[in-house]
Chains A and B, each alone.
Chain A
Amino acid sequence: MSEEKKKKGGFFGAVKEFVYGVAAHDSARFALKSRASMEHLFILITMGDMLGVPILPPYYSLRLLPYVVPQISTWKRRMLKEKDLTDGLA
């Protein structure tokens, strides 16, 4: 959100954001996490032959590749990032 928009929101904008933070931000984060898990599966299906698991014929992998490319860098980072038990809590 830009600085200008924030200023426009003023006090009531801040209250609205606070209420959203209390009530719904967690739900939005978990929805995004669920989507990310599905995307991981999609990338695995599309690029499985890179890992030695040829799930899709190369023709379809190549057709799907443009849709996967924007996700690759964040996917790689998420997969390689060290995780521990506390990651599931917050």
Chain B
Amino acid sequence: MNSVVVLILGLVVAFIGYRFYAKHIDSKIIKSDPKRATPAKMYMDGVEFMPTSKNILFGYQFKSIAGAAPIIGPIIAIQWGWLPALIWILAGTFFIGWVQDYSSAMVAMRNDGASFGGLSHKLISPRARIILLAFIYFYLLLIAGAFGNVVVSTTIALKAAPMAWLFLTVGGILAGQMIYRWRKDIILTTIVTVVIAMAGIWFGSIAPSDSIIGASLANSRWVWAIAAFVFCYFAAVLPIWRFALPINYVASYIVFLGLFFGIIGIFILHPDFTLPAYTGFSIAIGPIWPIMFVTIACGAISGWHSIVSSSGTARQLENELDARPVGGGVMFIEMMLALFALIIAGTIYASSAEYGAAIAKGPGGIFAAGVSKFLGAIGMPAALGRSYGSVMMIVLAITIMQLVIRFMRVATSELLSDVSPVFRNPHIGTFIACVLGMVLVMTGWWQYLWVLFGGANQLMASLALLLVTAWLMSEGKSAAWAFWPMIFMFITTIAALLYTSYNLLIKVISGAVKGEALIGNTLMGLVGLFLVVAALILGSEGMKALKRYRSITKTQAAAAAKA
């Protein structure tokens, strides 16, 4: 199949999904009302609750949800063949992905901008809130581990990446200084800092890391894992304007330009898929069901999006009608990003053997090679293109990772400060988060780590859909469009997590793994099992709540019939 056909297919699915399915749900079931006051208007405080233009929120939502996951998932999942991956990306987004993103925003909006903790307490049970929050902590740990692994493997596979990353960091810190301390013009700041970051990409291509620090250090996982977590450490403990945000600001231009010109490159080159459409039901990572459905996470559906939609976007929407373009529309854009990654993985290698050799080194190298090829179509030299692709990959991973570590620091303080005041110290919380993340990165096989992250992410999505279903039933609205996706995702993710945890722990019990792998397998297996147990308790509580709502609805219907 030709890559342009895939892009056009994606656009058609997005058009039908957004224009017809989403509009039907929005207008007939949810009954969005432009005259209803949103939490942003009702509780405007100029901080969290603030009416914001839908165009701004569209960009904000896109930036918040588009991390490394929609790119890495398809690159790994193409091992089952490009056709199953393509079908899951399209069908997953159409039937589940946008449903979750849109409805998470809507349920929060119709409940005074409450976040998931409050919603689970109100709609399911008091116990559900505590379990959900504990679940989220371990889910974030898996994000830190999986994305940390991406950073490490990319810096090792692409020797241009460290220099580009360093320059980006310098440019970002300078941006913070220029904007907030020197009060310089934003356009001047942007030009200066983006040029510095671009210079780093060029410099990386002519001065690779092994030529500067030697091959042994440049190929050391320890070195780059420490670098990644030191970076996240600063992001977590420094004021957010000083480090994390300005780096994200500069990085967003690099990512945005790369994606824009990369897609143009696909249209110019319009290559055919060279990898097989289908390879088999079971491969080294596991069987196509359930494992592929969690390997491709954000490109089809992602629990992360529901957190952004409910805690961030829902408090800024100025009109209920904006929830469809912002919540739903952005998910379809994310789907296009996943298709972009699928095209890269499926078209740039001549054979499965070549792809197999590349994926063994990590997905970052494949992405960078694809970016290089498609940017080459508009005239960028190959080495520079690879450098550009490598820094894009690092940026997409580390921007989420630094946020996660920062958040885990806050969570540690909130959860454990009653146990001992020492946990109130920001350095302690950050250190704990970094050490746990480091252990996962250094000891776990990255493909299993990715599957566990994907499983936790999709499970989070099914829990979000459970909350949405409970809310729809409590309101007496039709809930099938959220209920069946929730059931599918719940069963699939539980199966995926159990399968992966079993595979990890059985190696520990049988003594098949030793040393670092023993620690990695044990930790990952136990985290996976914890997530399964937490999700089962939440699922059980949720089903009780759904039964309760159904009996209330029946009683009301019977009373209405009598009257």
Do the two chains belong together in a single complex? yes
A4 to nearest B CB, angstroms?
14
Contact (Cβ within 8 A) A21 B62? yes
**Assembly CA distance A27 to B136 (angstroms):** 24
Give a binary string over B396-428; 1 marks a CB under 8 Å from any A CB, 0 the rest. 000000010011001100100000000000000
- Is residue A30 within 8 Å, beta carbon to beta carbon, of the partner chain? yes
Q: Which partner residue on chain A sits nearest B44 by CB separation?
A: A74
| Nearest-neighbor residue (CB-CB) of A73 within chain B | B45
Known A21-B57, A26-B60: A84·B46 in contact at CB below 8 Å: no
Residues from chain A with a CB closer than 8 A to the CB of B115 are 82-84, 86-87
Counting CB contacts under 8 A, is A22 at the interface?
yes
A86 CB, nearest partner CB in chain B, Å? 5
Known: A18-B56, A19-B59, A86-B136. A74 touches B253 (CB 8 A): no
Closest partner residue, chain B, to A36 (CB atom) = B47
Closest Cβ of chain B: how far from A66's Cβ, in Å? 19
Q: How far is the CA of A18 from the CA of B407 in the complex (A)?
A: 26
A41 to chain B, nearest CB (A): 14
Set B56, B61, B114: member contacting A82, Cβ < 8 A: B114
Contact A88 B245 (CB under 8 A): no
Partner of B311, one of A19, A33, A86: A86
* B53/A85 in contact, CB under 8 A: no
Pick from A21, A26, A36, A85: contact of B248, CB under 8 Å:
A26
Query: How many A-B pairs with Cβ below 8 Å?
Result: 127
Interfacial chain B residues near A30, Cβ < 8 Å: 240-241, 245
Flag whether A55 is at the interface (Cβ < 8 A): no
Choose from A22, A33, A78 the contact partner of B59 (Cβ within 8 Å). A22
Q: Which residue of A lies closest to B406 (CB)?
A: A88
* Chain A positions 54 through 73: 1 when the CB is less than 8 Å from some CB of chain B, otherwise 0: 00000000000000000000
Within 8 A of A (CB), among B33-76: 43-48, 50, 52-53, 55-64
Are A77 and B45 neighbours in the complex by a CB distance under 8 Å?
yes
Check: B133 CB closer than 8 A to any chain A CB.
Answer: yes
B154 within 8 A of A: no
**Residues A86 and B63 in contact, CB atoms below 8 Å apart:** no
Complex CA–CA separation, A74 to B246 (angstroms): 28
Question: Is A27 a contact partner of B241 (Cβ separation < 8 A)?
Answer: yes
Q: Are B410 and A20 in contact (CB under 8 A)?
A: no
Q: What count of chain B residues pass the 8 Å CB interface test? A: 51
Contacts of A19 in B (CB 8 A): 59, 256
B324 part of interface (Cβ distance < 8 Å): no
Task: Report the minimum CB–CB distance from B179 to chain A (whole Å).
Answer: 8
> Do residues B56 and A25 form an inter-chain contact, with CB atoms below 8 A?
yes
Bound-state Cα–Cα, A40 to B246, Å: 25
Bound CA–CA A74/B420 (angstroms)? 32
Whether the pair A22, B47 counts as a contact (CB closer than 8 A) is: no
Q: How far is the CA of A83 from the CA of B414 in the complex (A)?
A: 11
Q: Name the CB-closest residue of B to A9.
A: B55
- Contacts A74-B45, A84-B115, A85-B117 given: A90-B55 contact, CB under 8 Å? no
A14 within 8 Å of B (CB atoms): yes
Is there an interface contact between A17 and B56, defined as CB atoms closer than 8 Å?
Answer: yes
Determine how close the nearest CB of chain B comes to the CB of A32; give it in whole angstroms. 5
Question: Is the CB–CB distance between A89 and B308 below 8 Å?
Answer: yes
- Does B133 contact A23, Cβ atoms closer than 8 Å? no
Q: How long is the Cα–Cα vector from A25 to B56 in the complex, in angstroms?
A: 7
Query: Given that A22-B63, A22-B252, A74-B46 are known contacts, is A86 also in contact with B56, CB under 8 Å in the complex?
Result: no
Q: Give complex CA distance A22, B246 in Å.
A: 13
A85-B245 in contact (CB<8A): no
Please name all residues of chain B whose beta carbon is closer than 8 Å to the beta carbon of A88 when the two chains form the complex: 406-407, 410-411
B310 interface residue (CB < 8 Å to A): yes
B55 contacts A14, CB within 8 Å? Answer: yes
Q: Does B313 contact A (CB under 8 A)?
A: yes
- Shortest CB-to-CB span from A30 to chain B, Å, is 5
Instruction: Kindly list chain A residues whose C-beta atoms are within 8 Å of the C-beta of B53.
Output: 1, 6, 17
Q: Which residues of A contact B137 (CB under 8 A)?
A: 85
Is residue B307 contacting chain A, with contact meaning CB distance below 8 A? yes
| Cα–Cα, bound, A27→B250 (Å) | 12
- Docked complex Cα distance between A22 and B43 (Å): 25
- Provide the residues of chain A in CB contact with B327, threshold 8 Å: none
- A and B contact pairs by CB, cutoff 8 A, 10 listed: A21-B58, A22-B252, A36-B46, A74-B47, A84-B116, A85-B117, A85-B136, A89-B403, A89-B407, A90-B311
Which residues of A pack against B, CB within 8 Å?
1, 6, 13-14, 17-27, 29-36, 74, 77-78, 82-90
Give me 11 other A-B pairs in contact (C-beta within 8 A), A22-B256, A86-B311, A89-B403 excluded: A21-B60, A27-B248, A32-B47, A34-B241, A36-B47, A82-B114, A85-B411, A86-B116, A86-B310, A88-B411, A90-B308
